Structure 1
Amino acid sequence: MSNTDTPLSLEDQILLMKNYVVFRQKSKARTLLRKEGYFRVSRYGKYLLSFTNVLRSKPDQTLLYDLYIFDEALREIFFRYTQKAELQFKNHLSNSVSLKLNNPTFYLDSSSYTPSRGESDKIKRTRYQKKFTGFSTDLKKSENKLISKPHMYPELKAYRKGGPRYRKRIPAWTAFMYFDFGTIEHIYAYLRLDLRKEVLVSGYPESIRKVSKIDTKNMDTWIAAIRNLRNTCSHHNMLVGKTSSIVHLDNLDSAVVLPSNTDLFSRMYALKKVLDLKDSESLKNDVIKLIKKTKFNIHQFNILPLNWETLFDQIHKF
């Protein structure tokens, strides 16, 4: 099969970028393209071009640079808080279920899970059950990898031959620190309903609600949103204007606090649900600081709702 794409020189890339942005200083354009790559930079140009009805003209290179710098700083903020959310949820999950079952390796025990995920739809039930077999196998392989790779995980030598915990499985509170967030997401999704509830009751003891099945399903969407956001930030992909997985509205919240369930603010909504109160407030303050020092009006480009601070404050903590 032939590939119709052809490699482009730096000058060719600048010519193509002129379709989206007006360049007055080609040297700066060359520096940016050499460092960041045409595909990444062109996405910002295309995004700005879609707002010509607001700008009234083709955007210039200064705005392109400002948007790029803003997006880079925004990714740094969100990556930091998605990491916090990930660590907090891993702790809630490992500690609460281990204590509930008095079983530190519950995650390797098939009796901890519901392969159908309690789904009433026959097609979904069948799909979940089919995937569970592979998930369970991969989970055991992931745990075994921690034991069998001494050069990668020397700190786990106690679980290897000659160690005091030889032939013991790695407890959840240790293994989960190595598992990626996607694996944690699936562990929670497949847990028995009583254990899913226990994670939320134990992890959020100040919650004013009686945790229900709906709450556990809502949490599934919040975790997925945070994981998607984390992946976007960690891979240095464009965050501004990105849409992602659907976030469910908490029953305690008014619909007005979630204008869209797939935009960037919906990721902030999910973070406030999962993070502790102090961290969620710090997230809001860090975003405010960034916006204040940004050289363009972010609301012109639908990056966040105009009243996002008010909406964020109205979101009920889980």
Structure 2
Amino acid sequence: MKNLYKLSGLFFFLILLLSSCGFKDIDKRSFVVGIGIDQLEQEQEGYEVTLKMAYPASETKELGNQFQLISAKGSTIAEAIRFIKAKVGNELDFGHMKMIIIGEKILTKDIEKTMDWFTRRRDIQQIALLSVGKPDAKTILSVKPKGERLPSNKLFMFFDETGTESPYVTTKFLYEFRRDLVERGMDGYLPIVESEEDNFSITTMAVIKKGEKPLILNKKETKVFNILKKSYDKESLKVNAQDQFFMLAVDSLNTSYRIKDSKKPKIKFKVDVEGTIEESKVKLRKGKLDKYNKLTEETFKKDIKKLLQKFQDTNIDPIGFGLRYRAMHTGPEKKKWKNWKDLYPEIDINVQVNAEITGTGIIE
């Protein structure tokens, strides 16, 4: 009997502990699905934080419209979140938050300080997706795309490639961007999201180096970068040279590079591309595939060389050449890093493109 009393007392004590913990019922929570961080005006220090909160609905077709935007300003992100909590009756739940949008103006500031809150919070997923909002993050969060079944779901489909797959869309996760900011030899990059009435436009990107002005890539440069970085093969290459104009639908694409260490170090970048011609403005003949291959190689090589040269001129390295150089060499890290910083602006980059066009389409 004594043991029974002891067990019942222990059970009652555990119930008291559970009742005092931080658990909240689902109807007392507001689920944050997206967060936007904007810089305050120049004369003010701090941020404007905007939360996009989803609310459950009985009908699936109504879910896309069941959300609320709440903003607050603060000297820090944590302070702004506290002000938002004072406006919301429910507990904020960040467990489903997968979209982080950073205002364009923040790129000119110390972005590492901005990311500090996200990397320290235990309830923020490290696989959350990052992007830059143009003109600001709040505008992007307020867009209501037609046919969106869940709040912010359309942005998820863009970046995790469960929906559209485009060579212009760059994907970056929170853990990757954090690593790029602190790792020597690799500079970070983020996609730029622009609003177009009730839709999004994602065709450019920003390359970010801590303490320096970001480098904004145009549409063509963004496409070439994604091809090089991800070996993106769902692509069409435009060839316009020697009175020939055709579009090559890429079936397979492989990229690789190595740093040749010698008296005169150089980077050898190799690209193998295979595909078929899907459109042409001039008459094509199957017997001239060698000529079309050569034109494709010359055109693509020129585009790649131009982009890599731009990275060199601005002393930015989103490909990760410096990281590879550090891994190849032994010795003190400070010495290896200094050697690479001296070498990178002057190193020769040789680009080799091997094209194989398998056909000119079903029309001869």
Q: TM tier, shorter chain?
A: under 0.3
Specify the structure having the higher radius of gyration (Cα).
2
Give the structure with the larger strand fraction. 2
Tell me which of the two structures has the higher relative contact order, counting C-alpha pairs closer than 8 angstroms and 6 or more residues apart: 1
Give the structure with the larger helix fraction. 1
